[in-house]
Structure 1
Amino acid sequence: MSWLRSLLLCALLAITPTAWAVNPDEMLADPALEQRARDISTELRCLVCQNESIDDSDADLAKDIRVLVRERLTAGDTDDQVRQFLVDRYGEFVLLRPRVEGHTLLLWFAAPGLLVIGLIVLVIMARRRRKPVAVDELSAEEQRALDSLDGPQA
């Protein structure tokens, strides 16, 4: 019965919605505007945590940026204007998914490029390993020398 209780607890934990770091005092009254703010917040990096979005972070700077996003949306900015404002203020590092532009091409294509090069090298090495090594026939002199090493044949 204990395993059933544990299984039920795990199932309940798996289906619970994730906790958001957004405090109720930050939320906007307009649900559509709040949803836009949440969508933008999930795309912005917490500059303190660096591997979390500001929507998930409890850091004070993340809270300040969330409030700033909501202020800009309330002022009538579009989503792109809000993102651009934050990029101008904090740099492109604030974006969790950097834009594909000339200066970010290496960032976007280096890892896939290295993966393809690695796969090509592996295929070449595997093909070389499969090829049998060509063995030339022994000359008559080499055969006699080999036979003399074997010793007497019984």
Structure 2
Amino acid sequence: MRKLLFAVAVLLAVPAFAVEPDEVLPDPALEARAREISKGLRCLVCRNESIDESNASLAKDLRVLVRERLVEGDSDVEVVDFVVDRYGEYVLLKPTTGGANVLLWIAGPAMLLLALGIGAVYIRGRRAAGDTPADTLSEAEQARLKEIMRE
């Protein structure tokens, strides 16, 4: 039972092993800031994993870059802006809601409303079509049908 608990504890702590000891800053305040910034940056290799959790070499390079910028005296916003300028906005795990991204944020709900509107118009049209009497056969067509049925 103890081995199982140990194995579960190790598996849950795997993301904590991503930051290697040689990356850790001696100043605890700077290290805490670096960890907080790293949690908001996406690993470009692993996709939906932060650079703080990823073991990829690019994630390590980004973690080192963040720590270098903090040591140089950059603020948290300046560090994130530097990384975004270098790698693009895709590096953010939580993209901004300004600029061209407004289209992406609005497109989903707009398409849903458009689909609901088209569906409502279609259903209303089907109901209206169902209320009209069925087309009846002309007298000539009825006579021809009776003739065919006799054969």
Structure 1 residue aligned with 2:73: 76
Distance 1:28 1:116 in 2: 50
Structure 1 residue aligned with 2:111: 114
Matches within 5 A, 1:49-68: 49-68=46-65
Distance 2:97 2:104 in 1: 9
Distance 2:74 2:22 in 1: 21
**TM-score normalised to structure 2 length:** 0.68
Change (3 A) 1:55 1:133: same
Contact 2:41-2:91 within 8 A present in 1 as well: yes
Distance 1:35 1:22 in 2: 12
Q: Per-residue deviation at 1:58?
A: 1.2
Contact 2:15-2:54 within 8 A present in 1 as well: no
Matched, 1:19 2:10: no
Q: Per-residue deviation at 1:17?
A: 4.6
Distance 1:123 1:18 in 2: 51
Structure 1, 94-103 or 76-85: larger mean CA deviation? 94-103
Structure 1, 66-75 or 118-127: larger mean CA deviation? 118-127
Q: Write out per-residue CA displacement over residues 78-118 of structure 1, whole angstroms, 9 at most, x where no aligned residue.
A: 11000111122222222222222222222222223223323
Contact 2:42-2:48 within 8 A present in 1 as well: yes
Change (3 A) 1:138 1:114: closer
Structure 1: tracts of 5 or more residues without a match:
150-154
Match of 2:28 among 31, 53, 57: 31
Matched, 1:86 2:83: yes
Q: Per-residue deviation at 1:19?
A: 2.0
Distance 2:126 2:134 in 1: 22
Structure 1, 53-62 or 119-128: larger mean CA deviation? 119-128
Identity %: 52
- SS in structure 2 at match of 1:52: strand
Q: Per-residue deviation at 1:48?
A: 2.2
- SS in structure 1 at match of 2:50: coil
**TM-score normalised to structure 1 length:** 0.67
Matched, 1:45 2:37: no
Change (3 A) 1:31 1:116: farther
Structure 2: tracts of 5 or more residues without a match:
147-151
Change (3 A) 1:67 1:112: same
